[in-house]
Amino acid sequence: MALGYILFLLATAISWTRADVDPFFNDSTFDEGAYGPYPQKSYKSVGLWSPRPNILQWDTQCEDGQYTFWTPRGNRVDEAGAMILDSKGDFVWWRGGYGQVYNMQVQEYRGELYLTFWAGDDTVGGHGAGYYYMLDSSYKQVHKLGAANGLDGDLHEFQITPEGTALISVYEVIDGDLTPFGHEKDGKIWDCLIQEIDLATGKLLFQWRASEHYELTETQREVPNPDPFDFFHLNSIDKDLKGNYLISSRFTFTVTYINGVTGDIIWILGGKRNNFTDLSGGKATGFMYQHDARWSDDYTTITIFDNGAEDWHYVEPYTRGIRIKIDQEAMTAELVTEYANPHHIYGMSQGSLQTLPNGNVLMGYGNTGAMTEYAGDGTVLCDVHFGPETWFGSGDIQSYRTYKFNWVGRPDTKPDIAFVRSDDPASNETSVFVSWNGDTEVRRWVLEGTDDVEAGKWSALNEVARKGFESQILMKNITAPYVRARGLDKDGKVLGETDAWNWKEPKVSYSLPISRSSPSTSLNHAF
């Protein structure tokens, strides 16, 4: 024992460097595709990949301590899944294995925060057939919810209310008369349903059907393939303090306010039955193919991701976010703020607009691998591309929505560690790499050594501040054969430790190419 301890005193671990590869900053060759369709970085300690984005514009206002939640998938994304980045864009968490993942958020249920998302099959015709998942702060799955009445849960919405209910979107094939469109009388349509379900019991509390409140002819969509005809396309559901619902439907160009008891339509914003006088010459009610309609500003405004620049229509010159002031007495609508990306993105499908607690606005561009944070007045603060601008529209890197939330992640796994010996055999140097998928709380990593793992007497070799996802500690002249790393929180409490490794027989480390491109494999049908 004594000898072992003395040997530790000989050990000298010197310096640390940030192991993560930095993002690109306003790199025009990135946007020309010089680094491939989806530049990524890998890690030594664990076989995970994370985006290496191009940050075109940055403001420290965006570093608000919140995390970014997105669900990468697409032609150039090897495996679809759920990903968390921190407010500086550093990688925090990844999980695949669910199939297609959509709409990741942090939501409160019975006083606890959960990671929530939809996963399942998105090839059923522009929507989804799957389930809604809730993970706790250790990333353990604690709830899996399906739609009621034997129907499939759709990918577009999963909103947990303060009453502990879930608002979900559901698509169902029903009969429809398609003669107004020059098709058969006994045709088929996709009906769209709101379901409100009690999370604890799975009991259906409320259901609403678009086909009982909208005429098929209110669609704004051509009918290229009426089999079944998706005339409405529900894609967001919000509920207010009065218990009424606010829904967005892409193919009628409408936001509909629905009585939460009777299901009657109270009013419609936009579309063929618009109830509002537009005080902004059409700019408040003229949105098209829109997504993510939300009450904001204490129920006085509605925010919308306006896909008016949608692929085969190009009505608007570019995708925009809009904040519309709603006067429910005078029945007027007025454009308050427009959130316009300086690169004039055409968000062909999907997309999100979130008003952050400080009044900033985050837009995720859905089909297009980009996100932008705006000040409340529409000024661009931070602008990030996950893939080259020249290939926007290809669907290479998509995320249905992109949101920011506060989050505390305490994984129930062990941190990962790898040892990489210097190429110079004379140098006596080994780099130790440490990471912990999903952790948000470790502030320092302590490297410890022992010559006898069984005896369990460990001594500290070195300590480094955690920077980014993977931290690097350089070891020099280490004699202790066994090494482990422990993660400490801000108070010095041990949150987790790696297995003990004989660093002289290092485990295989992962290669570190700067970017990775992959062939087009997955199909992405949702919009």
The residues of the shown chain that bind ligand NAG, judged by CB under 6 A, are: 10, 12, 14, 26, 28, 57, 266-267, 273, 275, 331, 426, 428, 476-477, 479
Nearer to ligand NAG, 15 or 521 (CB): 15
For 158-182, b/e burial (b = at least 16 CB within 10 A) is bbbbeeebbbbbbbbeeebebeebe
497-502 long-range Cβ contacts below 8 angstroms, 24+ apart: 497/414, 497/415, 498/414, 498/415, 498/416, 498/417, 498/434, 499/414, 499/417, 500/450, 500/453, 501/417, 501/419
Taking the complex as a whole, how short is the minimal distance between the CB of residue 272 and ligand NAG, in angstroms? 9
Taking the complex as a whole, how short is the minimal distance between the CB of residue 207 and ligand NAG, in angstroms? 23
CA distance 122 to 254: 23
Taking the complex as a whole, how short is the minimal distance between the CB of residue 426 and ligand NAG, in angstroms? 5
Nearer to ligand NAG, 476 or 525 (CB): 476
Taking the complex as a whole, how short is the minimal distance between the CB of residue 73 and ligand NAG, in angstroms? 29
For the beta carbon of residue 207, count every other beta carbon within 10 angstroms.
Answer: 16
For the beta carbon of residue 151, count every other beta carbon within 10 angstroms.
Answer: 16
Taking the complex as a whole, how short is the minimal distance between the CB of residue 276 and ligand NAG, in angstroms? 8
Closest CA to 205 of 241, 265, 164: 164
Nearer to ligand NAG, 173 or 381 (CB): 381
For the beta carbon of residue 73, count every other beta carbon within 10 angstroms.
Answer: 24
Closest CA to 491 of 442, 433, 435, 437: 442
Q: Which one-letter DSSP state was computed for residue 210?
A: G
Taking the complex as a whole, how short is the minimal distance between the CB of residue 185 and ligand NAG, in angstroms? 26
Nearer to ligand NAG, 170 or 269 (CB): 269
For the chain, counts of helices (H) and of strands (E): 2, 38
Taking the complex as a whole, how short is the minimal distance between the CB of residue 428 and ligand NAG, in angstroms? 4
Closest CA to 234 of 155, 351, 318: 155
- Give backbone dihedrals phi and psi of 198, rounded to 5 degrees, phi first: -70, 120
Cross-strand bridge partners of residue 190: 173
Taking the complex as a whole, how short is the minimal distance between the CB of residue 443 and ligand NAG, in angstroms? 26
Sign of CA dihedral 205, 211, 214, 220: positive
Nearer to ligand NAG, 112 or 264 (CB): 264
Nearer to ligand NAG, 8 or 43 (CB): 8
Cross-strand bridge partners of residue 489: none
Nearer to ligand NAG, 60 or 428 (CB): 428
- Give backbone dihedrals phi and psi of 213, rounded to 5 degrees, phi first: -130, -10
Hey, what's the torsion of the CAs at 474, 480, 484, 486, to 10 degrees? -80
Nearer to ligand NAG, 313 or 476 (CB): 476
CA distance 306 to 402: 15
Taking the complex as a whole, how short is the minimal distance between the CB of residue 273 and ligand NAG, in angstroms? 4
Nearer to ligand NAG, 28 or 141 (CB): 28
In angstroms, what CA-CA distances link 202 with 150, 163, 171, 177?
12, 14, 18, 33
Taking the complex as a whole, how short is the minimal distance between the CB of residue 57 and ligand NAG, in angstroms? 4
Element (H, E) at 418: strand 416-421
Nearer to ligand NAG, 201 or 262 (CB): 262
Nearer to ligand NAG, 141 or 427 (CB): 427
Taking the complex as a whole, how short is the minimal distance between the CB of residue 41 and ligand NAG, in angstroms? 22
Nearer to ligand NAG, 188 or 476 (CB): 476
Give 229: exposed, middle or buried? Use CB within 10 Å, 0-12, 13-18, 19+.
buried
Taking the complex as a whole, how short is the minimal distance between the CB of residue 92 and ligand NAG, in angstroms? 25
Q: How many CA atoms lie within 13 A of 293 on its CB side?
A: 32
